[in-house]
Structure 1
Amino acid sequence: QKAFEVVKNETPIQIQKIDILYGLERKIIEILLLYGNKTEEFEDVLLKTNEAGEIENVIEKKEYKVFQRIYLSLQEDEVELANPLFRDVYNDLIDYFNQNENFSIEQYLMHLHPDFAQEVTDILMADEKLVLHNWEGQNIFPKTKDQTISQYVSETILTLRWYLVDGIIEEIKSSISSEPDSDNIELLSMAMDYYKLINSFSKKLGRVMSRYNN
């Protein structure tokens, strides 16, 4: 009966969740700023019927602009960024990429609304500090994210989807009644479906990461 019991004092957990979501959404903005206009090869997993009439997963590789890949992935999941500032910057960036064939950070900053400019500048400066820190700590030039853009984008999107689905599972858990005569079959079935989805994310993340860790 206590398996799905809700913890009453969730403040530290809630703060941690906000921090995780903030970090993931900030990373998406960073990727768009640094690599949004680059063309990369991504893997799509499609369901197709084979010669035996069985449905199987087929991996197809296709080139996308990074901003297109991110936009399509979030649109597919009907995901909007939770942070209002990040959401506004995201929408502004997507519009800018669609309207301008070439992208330079300098030109974009000149076009940018003053309310967004400070946050965008902070994100860009944080990326430069990270590269510098890695170089100083190891006394070598770090392997830049530019070398594995496709991996970095796929990993970030999958992690965000994983996090959001995990949040849905927690909501379902909190809705399950511990009363003996309660019918929780539908909720438990939903939770199991979402667990399967998380398992698929885990497999995809493992494949994405293993391709670059050999």
Structure 2
Amino acid sequence: MDSQDNARNAKPGRARGRPRGWDDKTAQNTIKSLDRAMEVFEYLSEAQGKTLTALAAETGQSNATVYRILVTLEDRGLVDFDPKDQTWHIGPQAFVIGARFLRRTSLVDRARPILRRLMEDTGETANLGVEKNGAVLFLSQVETHANIRAFFPPGSLSPMHSSGIGKALLAQMEETHLDRLLRSGKLEAFT
């Protein structure tokens, strides 16, 4: 038997670089301290300019834990501390990491001239968004010069059913994916 015969008769194994429990997403396979840190980081990204005490209270974690998380994130440039008003903010390294996501695909670059033309033709702000975990993730925007305009900064998340992009995405979605999204949560009324 040669090496080709061995390869044909080999049992299918797991993909290289994946542990045995690759599909096991239970709590035993998560790093709880990292999960707590990400909770603080994500909360701070939505609620800029929070004190340590406020962050701890609003995330339900102890002051000591939140402080250690913030100092660690600060060392990485992901958060900044303003000593004047004793508040924490998202740092520049968070932008750098986020911008790498946009470089992963050429979608934003390719869409830019189309967004500009759409804005000019309609006189309205043109947005680019994709579906992310049942919400619209806004990637890019070309603003109108009109006095009244909608503004969704890149990185904003919006429920699918409450935005024009979300409704367009829902209208084109495969039925199985749509059913899964609709069953996963309640559709909150906004108007």
TM-based fold match above 0.5:
no
Structure with greater contact order relative to length (CA < 8 Å, sep ≥ 6): 1
Identify, as 1 or 2, the structure richer in helix: 1
Which TM-score applies when normalising by structure 1?
0.26
TM-score (norm 2): 0.28
Please say which structure displays the higher CA radius of gyration.
Answer: 2
